[in-house]
Chains A and B, each alone.
Chain A
Amino acid sequence: MGGDHTAITNLRRAKISHTRDPKSPILAVVIFSVLLFSDMGHAETGSFDFEGNSPLAGWQTKRYLGKVIYKIASENSNNFVHAVSKNAATALYKRIRFDARKTPIISWRWKVDQFPKKQGLGSAEDDDYAARVYVIFISWFFPSSKCIEYIFDDETKEGTILDNPYSRNIKLYVIRSGREKNGRWFREERNIYEDYLEAFGEKPVLKIGAVAFMVDSDNTKSYAEASFDDLMIGYEKNGRVK
């Protein structure tokens, strides 16, 4: 009798343990969504001088074609990111999150050692630049995302804003130009909000979700070399970093 009672109790327990919680699929979807978008929500802004023990912590390389070598180089005891591209396109990418309407300033230093050899066609085959800094306004639905690429080129006139050949949501803003500027460091400070307004003709709605550096030479099948340093993002005009 007692054995029967125990068996029934065990059976009930087993039934209870196998009863599916109706909330569990919803919970699974919520957990999946949180995991999926968790790396989109980095609230990190600040400055990156590429000094210290882990100067590229949090930065990832995004490969497209070949492999651009991004490494930390040193000059007069100052560290910086040095990139060499041989017929390759790879970006150095950092997830961040800040609102260009509140903290619109970005600054960095860059230097080009070698420009890619363009054919002067002005087409997609020439879509290589010695140095680019991406500011990406990420939307969960990517076609709605927008991007400004600040470009250091050898020929295109400074101040030129170009459409990306494949998407009008990507604007190429040439802010430094000239072959004679080869081998010299330049410091840039841009107001993203104003640049966005100029490039897209509207105020930014999306928050900035990532920044990236790129040196590419894949389309021209040539060679490019550039360096980046002292990136500061998400600060106000008075220089205060959020």
Chain B
Amino acid sequence: MRIKYLVKHKLQFTYLAILLIGILLPLMLVPLAVYYLIFTVLAHRIAIPDWIAYNLFPAIGTINKVIIIAFPFLILLVIFWSLVLSHRIVGPIYRLEKDLDDIVDGKRRGPIKIRKADELKEVVEKINRLIDSLEKHRCGKA
């Protein structure tokens, strides 16, 4: 059971960065799009400053409050989820490397175990079959 959430630092940070950029960038574009819609498209359509101030300013005030309250939670959630996802990808690679090293060094025998939710499950199964067949071949020769 792996409990470390940061394993192969360089690789995991790369995946983490890709995931964070992939999620945070669109997330930040949403309020920008809302501001653009309200203060440019809608405001120019309404045109009369009094009505814009009366109608749009309170609306944007409410939107700002929602963003200020929700955004830190969303960012924390995104960071946590990115960490979990990146670990699901990098964790098995780390495990695979470590177990293969141990098998090559003769410290242990197969099969390599992997968690159900981890990626690369099929690759690990094929490697296990390869290890199994190599072991059978070695036993046959002996």
A residues in contact (CB < 8 Å) with B: 36, 40, 62, 64, 89, 91, 93, 127, 134, 136, 138, 140-143, 145, 147, 149, 164, 166-167, 169-170, 210, 212, 214
Q: Which of A93, A145, A212 has the most CB of B within 10 A?
A: A145
| A140-B40, A142-B40, A142-B56 known; A169 vs B48 contact (CB < 8 Å) | no
In the bound complex, CA of A142 to CA of B59 (Å)? 14
Flag B46-85 by CB within 8 Å of A: 1 or 0 each. 1111111110110000000000000000000000000000
Q: Contact size class for B?
A: 10 to 19
- Complex contact A167–B48 (CB within 8 A): no
- Complex contact B46–A62 (CB within 8 A): yes
Task: Apart from A64-B51, A140-B40, list 19 A-B contacts with CB within 8 A.
Answer: A40-B44, A62-B48, A91-B48, A93-B47, A134-B49, A136-B47, A138-B44, A141-B40, A142-B40, A142-B43, A145-B43, A164-B49, A164-B53, A166-B57, A167-B50, A169-B49, A169-B53, A170-B50, A214-B48
Closest Cβ–Cβ distance, residue B34 to chain A (whole Å): 13
Question: Can you list 19 A-B contacts (CB < 8 A)?
Answer: A40-B44, A62-B47, A91-B48, A134-B48, A140-B40, A141-B40, A142-B39, A143-B39, A143-B57, A164-B53, A166-B54, A167-B50, A167-B53, A167-B57, A169-B53, A170-B50, A170-B53, A212-B47, A212-B48
- Complex contact B52–A142 (CB within 8 A): yes
